[in-house]
A and B are shown apart, each in its own frame.
Chain A
Amino acid sequence: MLEATPKEIIPRKALRINPAKTCQPIGAMYAALGIHRCLPHSHGSQGCASYHRMHLTRHFRDPVMASTSSFTEGASVFGGSSNLRQAIKNIFHIYNPDVVAIHTTCLSETIGDDVPSIIRSAQELIPEGKHVIHANTPSYVGSHITGFANMTVGMVRCLAKKNNADISCRINIIPGFVEPGDIREIKRLVRLLEIPGNIFPDTSDVLDSPMTGRLNFYPEGGARVETIEASGSAEATVSLGSFSSLPAALELNVRYGVEVVSLKVPIGIEATDRFVMRLLALSGRKTPPVELAKERGRLVDLMTDTCYQYQGKRVALFGDPDLVIPMTEFLLSLGMQPVYCLTGTPGRKFVEEIKRICDRRVPDLRVEAGADLFLLHQWIKNEKVDLIIGNTYGKYISKAEGIPLVRYGFPILDRIAYPYFPNVGYGGAMRLLEKISTALLDKQDAEASDEQFELVM
């Protein structure tokens, strides 16, 4: 496996090998699916919509609906305005969504289609009470995380309003590019802490919808348009993850003066502690409900009981910045060594943040943003690790080097149920810990000689 990968690292300036990111539009499509009765629309070639739908479907194993402007060579030369107008007309006629969320592609960006003005000129095609929102998501800038952030900003720009009379929505929560199961758990935590909060985008009950024998073209879940509209009237926006959520929180701040509370995605004990403390402060309470305190207690109990299993182990961690950052922190709180931290998404912030978290606790630390899995593999070839944590694409390196892989992040294409169970919160941390420990012990069992094979571990 991957025998062509040499150990010697030669710096590359042009060739990306085995990327640890993909392009903006898929992130925009995912975000848009988090609005109730919304049809994402890809303004580009058919292939973009097809690839993004395929990829999301493989990860979630649930229907992913999206339409496309079906560019041909003619449209690419003369502009996509006519295609988009036709699309808007057909979409409302045939699929009757409440919201159409248009994102661009490298094609429509390169030819310079002005989507907002096309939408303005197509008002007569948009039925009363329906919305067409948009985001610019050029594939040659940033990554799928940037696309998610841009579409979330688009929601704010196109839908949010300031309406002081609306007091039902005090706190906005932007959950970041996380799983439906994570969002459901964040909502539970917010309820437990009695915060009058509204979350968007919300893909729970959209991409993990139950089997009933009936297809809901628009599943039950998703943030309501009113929720997003009301976000401009909120007191504060809790942004989870500075790469995927902060831009929309800042947009709400600039437009409507909504306070920004920037936090990490609450993965691991420290990030969850901070999340709880900030939410407590927002709610005016001093202590969380007993239920939550007990959850934390169980996590710490597990950590203290089992730390000998994973302490000191070297980990190669890769994935999206907002997931890698809190995971690095969690690994440190377990006494592990996150020696390699890598993301495909560009951004110096990532490198700085990882270095800050690790401080001097990880002497062998290598960290890089805008990098790829080819490089990660080469790092591993030069100095081995005990564990790899990352998405499905890590399985090739895992097989090549005989190092266990804990599947974490997007996408998980080869194992089931990942989107259903949360990584966030104290419960999520317990689940991650179980996976990490199991991976290490399974390897120990598999490799143990008969006389060293242990019953109790």
Chain B
Amino acid sequence: MEPIKQAARVDREVGKKAVKEILSAYPAKVAKNRSTHIVVKGKNKGQKIAANTRTIPGIITNRGCCYAGCKGVVIGPIKDMVHITHGPIGCGYYSWATRRNQGMTANKKQMFLPYSFSTDMQDSDIVFGGEKKLELAVKEAYELFKPKAISISATCPVGLIGDDVQAVAGRMQKELGITVIAMNCEGYKGVSQSAGHHIANNKLFQEVIGTEDREYKNPFTINLLGEYNIGGDGWEIKRILEELGYEVVSFLTGDAGVDDIRRAHNAKLNLVQCHRSINYMAEMMKKKYGIPWLKVNFIGVNNTSRTLRDVAKFFGAQELIKRTEEVIERERKEIEPVIDTFRKGIKGRTVMLFVGGSRSHHYQDIFYELGVETVMSGYEFAHRDDYEGRRVLPEIKPDADSKNIEELNVQPDPEKYRPVDGEKIAGLQQKGVPVNDYAGLYPSLPEGALMIDDLNHYETEKLIERLKPDLFCSGIKDKYVVQKMGIPSKQLHSYDYSGPYAGFRGAVIFARDIYQAFNSPSWRYIKPPWETEPEIVATLTEKEKRGGKNAGGNPKRDNPQKSSPD
């Protein structure tokens, strides 16, 4: 693989001018608010960004709700659990199979990922209360499927009419003798999906994790937190980890079974892929069970290699460290020539990233590997620590919205807590292994690039006009908006139904997909010939008049699509 050249710095002035223009179009209050969510990266280390605050009403935001973060993101992928949405039909319907969380169960009768369960509340339930219906729904689910566990996710009206979903879960757990958990993740809680992640983390931590013990002979046991197996990402990571000799006790929550999650506290180390959605769990497991966590990044060849080395260093076994190097070398040898080929048709371009609460960071690095420079990077529902690193955590003051989300008071478990070797952790940190820490997106963002929180439609449109990126990575709501502007757009939530993108093999698929995004011939046809070659007709007519020969088109083509090299 050819060495990665330091990407050229983005022109800071262009970004600054674009931001000024955007803010000037807003009403005063909106401009004031938005200005705090936008940073043009300068030379000075540590710029503050406002995040995890309310979106202003009327703004076309990409953000979703608390329910989407709880049931849609964290709880939904648990494959052998019946997930009942308590509410009107929409919420359960929209979160049905749309996030591409793949999963496999040995007993196919316990596979519920292709199902959607809801209480489908009607007006009489809103008026007279829906608890009875919910209870009956849980019983009916149990009768039909005999699942190991059932989850209940509350939607907006549930909290408003005062249905006690926790009480229903308690009663049903007792009556049915299976795990029944309930999440008060009403859509209006918090300011985005993020609140729902936290609520789901709390519930799984309180009710599921630690409920079953198992002795593992393998000394290298890990959990992979914040990996949802979208497009099979988790399976590619698992392939590599298992080859190195690790035993994955549980994923949270891609392809996760309830029993795996029950035993997660038996692992020695938590790997954290998506910091935003699962950092609560990592911290709580550290406090209660003494399990350290390590921020990993399995997106891109360099990051995957670095991550594997970090994990090996954590366990410290020489044989493991040696095997890690061997596997990295072998895997890289296999994929790098292929990636190199794609990189030749990719490099030198620019990208804007607006995705998730951790993904922009992961993908800004893999784009860097491919020679693509990030000119803007932002998150939909992140907090300041996802941008600036966990060192800013003490500065973040809770506000009216975040106070509504319960912060659990976690104490060491009297029996299951394994003391942490403080010296070892400190030693690892000194060696650059980020145990129990995360530095955020900011450090690897190129200077001059923009860092924007809760980017909205208007800003997207203006920034594309001004920064003229070659590619825009976001989700489905932005995809066709951006493409209508003649710029390819790649969904980095659903991978445009491709994947896996994680691990070594995923990096090849990603490089191929990005190559294809840039090099699809279809972009060349946007301008019709009568707009690009108006001279032809005149030339022909003139020559015909004179009876001339060599009538032909103008060889100079006006091709404004720089993303479509001829």
Q: Which of A's residues lie within 8 Å of B, judged by CB?
A: 1-4, 6, 10, 12-19, 21-23, 25-26, 41, 44-48, 50-55, 57-58, 61-76, 83-84, 86-91, 93-95, 105-107, 110-111, 138-141, 143, 209, 211-217, 344, 374, 393, 396
Contacts A54-B477, A73-B401, A95-B60; A4 near B187 (Cβ below 8 A): no
**Are B109 and A72 touching (Cβ within 8 A)?**
no
Tell me the complex Cα distance, A89–B89, Å: 31
**Are A213 and B111 touching (Cβ within 8 A)?**
no
Q: Count A-B pairs with CB separation below 8 Å.
A: 266
Contacts A54-B94, A93-B27, A110-B160; A63 near B484 (Cβ below 8 A): yes
Name the one of B65, B92, B114 contacting A45, with C-beta atoms under 8 angstroms: B65
In this assembly, does B58 line the interface, its C-beta being within 8 Å of a C-beta of chain A? yes
Task: Name the A residues within 8 Å of B477 (CB-CB).
Answer: 50, 53-54, 57, 64
Task: Name the B residues within 8 Å of A213 (CB-CB).
Answer: 484-486, 526-527, 560-561
Closest residue on chain A to residue B381 by CB atoms: A46
In the assembled complex, the CB of B255 is this many whole angstroms from the nearest CB of chain A, namely 17
**Are A63 and B156 touching (Cβ within 8 A)?**
no
In this assembly, does B388 line the interface, its C-beta being within 8 Å of a C-beta of chain A? no
Tell me the complex Cα distance, A91–B30, Å: 11
Closest residue on chain A to residue B27 by CB atoms: A93
Extra 6 A-B pairs, beta carbons < 8 Å, given A16-B119, A88-B58, A94-B458: A14-B134, A47-B68, A70-B58, A72-B401, A91-B58, A213-B526
**Are A10 and B143 touching (Cβ within 8 A)?**
yes
Task: Name the A residues within 8 Å of B161 (CB-CB).
Answer: 110
Most buried by A among B59, B68, B126, B457: B59
In the assembled complex, the CB of A351 is this many whole angstroms from the nearest CB of chain B, namely 18
**Are B90 and A22 touching (Cβ within 8 A)?**
yes
**Stretch of B188-196, B367-375, B432-440 contacting A (4+ beta carbons < 8 Å):** B188-196
**Are A55 and B58 touching (Cβ within 8 A)?**
no
**Are B65 and A48 touching (Cβ within 8 A)?**
yes
Name the one of A1, A67, A215 contacting B461, with C-beta atoms under 8 angstroms: A215
Tell me the complex Cα distance, A83–B191, Å: 14
Task: Name the A residues within 8 Å of B143 (CB-CB).
Answer: 10
In this assembly, does B140 line the interface, its C-beta being within 8 Å of a C-beta of chain A? yes
Contacts A89-B27, A90-B30; A14 near B57 (Cβ below 8 A): no
Q: Can you list 28 A-B pairs, Cβ within 8 angstroms, ordered by A?
A: A3-B108, A3-B109, A4-B145, A14-B133, A18-B115, A19-B89, A21-B89, A23-B93, A46-B63, A47-B65, A48-B187, A51-B68, A55-B94, A57-B479, A69-B58, A72-B188, A75-B188, A76-B159, A93-B26, A94-B458, A106-B88, A106-B126, A107-B160, A110-B156, A140-B157, A141-B122, A211-B486, A396-B114
In this assembly, does B98 line the interface, its C-beta being within 8 Å of a C-beta of chain A? yes
**Are B401 and A19 touching (Cβ within 8 A)?**
no
Interface size class of B (residues with CB under 8 A): 35 or more
Task: Name the B residues within 8 Å of A69 (CB-CB).
Answer: 57-58
Name the one of A17, A64, A107 contacting B156, with C-beta atoms under 8 angstroms: A107
Closest residue on chain A to residue B494 by CB atoms: A58
Tell me the complex Cα distance, A71–B110, Å: 37
**Are B89 and A22 touching (Cβ within 8 A)?**
yes
Closest residue on chain B to residue A393 by CB atoms: B96
Nearest 4 CB-CB pairings of A with B:
A47-B65, A23-B90, A87-B58, A90-B58
**Are A2 and B114 touching (Cβ within 8 A)?**
yes
**Are A19 and B458 touching (Cβ within 8 A)?**
no
**Are A6 and B157 touching (Cβ within 8 A)?**
no
In this assembly, does B141 line the interface, its C-beta being within 8 Å of a C-beta of chain A? yes
Task: Name the A residues within 8 Å of B59 (CB-CB).
Answer: 67, 70, 90, 94
Tell me the complex Cα distance, A52–B65, Å: 12
Q: Which of B's residues lie within 8 Å of A, judged by CB?
A: 25-27, 30, 54-68, 84, 87-96, 98, 108-112, 114-123, 125-126, 133-137, 140-141, 143-145, 155-157, 159-161, 186-192, 400-401, 404, 457-458, 461, 475-477, 479-481, 483-486, 526-527, 560-561
Most buried by B among A63, A71, A73, A90: A73
Tell me the complex Cα distance, A95–B186, Å: 29
In the assembled complex, the CB of A359 is this many whole angstroms from the nearest CB of chain B, namely 32
In the assembled complex, the CB of A74 is this many whole angstroms from the nearest CB of chain B, namely 6
Tell me the complex Cα distance, A25–B120, Å: 15
Contacts A47-B64, A215-B485; A94 near B25 (Cβ below 8 A): yes
Task: Name the B residues within 8 Å of A216 (CB-CB).
Answer: 484
Closest residue on chain A to residue B108 by CB atoms: A3
Name the one of B56, B91, B109 contacting A90, with C-beta atoms under 8 angstroms: B56
Tell me the complex Cα distance, A214–B527, Å: 11
Tell me the complex Cα distance, A69–B60, Å: 10
**Are B120 and A16 touching (Cβ within 8 A)?**
yes
**Are A10 and B188 touching (Cβ within 8 A)?**
no
**Are A107 and B157 touching (Cβ within 8 A)?**
yes
Contacts A90-B56, A213-B526; A48 near B109 (Cβ below 8 A): no
Task: Name the A residues within 8 Å of B26 (CB-CB).
Answer: 93-94
Name the one of B60, B114, B122, B140 contacting A66, with C-beta atoms under 8 angstroms: B60
**Are B58 and A89 touching (Cβ within 8 A)?**
yes
**Are B67 and A67 touching (Cβ within 8 A)?**
no
**Are B191 and A50 touching (Cβ within 8 A)?**
no
Contacts A13-B136, A14-B140, A70-B57; A47 near B92 (Cβ below 8 A): no
Most buried by B among A111, A211, A396: A211
Closest residue on chain B to residue A216 by CB atoms: B484
In the assembled complex, the CB of A190 is this many whole angstroms from the nearest CB of chain B, namely 29
Task: Name the A residues within 8 Å of B119 (CB-CB).
Answer: 14-16
Contacts A54-B98, A58-B476; A73 near B189 (Cβ below 8 A): yes
Name the one of A4, A47, A374 contacting B109, with C-beta atoms under 8 angstroms: A4
**Are B58 and A86 touching (Cβ within 8 A)?**
yes
Tell me the complex Cα distance, A398–B160, Å: 39
**Are A211 and B526 touching (Cβ within 8 A)?**
yes
Task: Name the B residues within 8 Å of A215 (CB-CB).
Answer: 461, 481, 484-485
Tell me the complex Cα distance, A84–B90, Å: 22
Tell me the complex Cα distance, A387–B190, Å: 46
Task: Name the B residues within 8 Å of A18 (CB-CB).
Answer: 96, 115-116
Contacts A54-B477, A61-B480; A13 near B60 (Cβ below 8 A): no
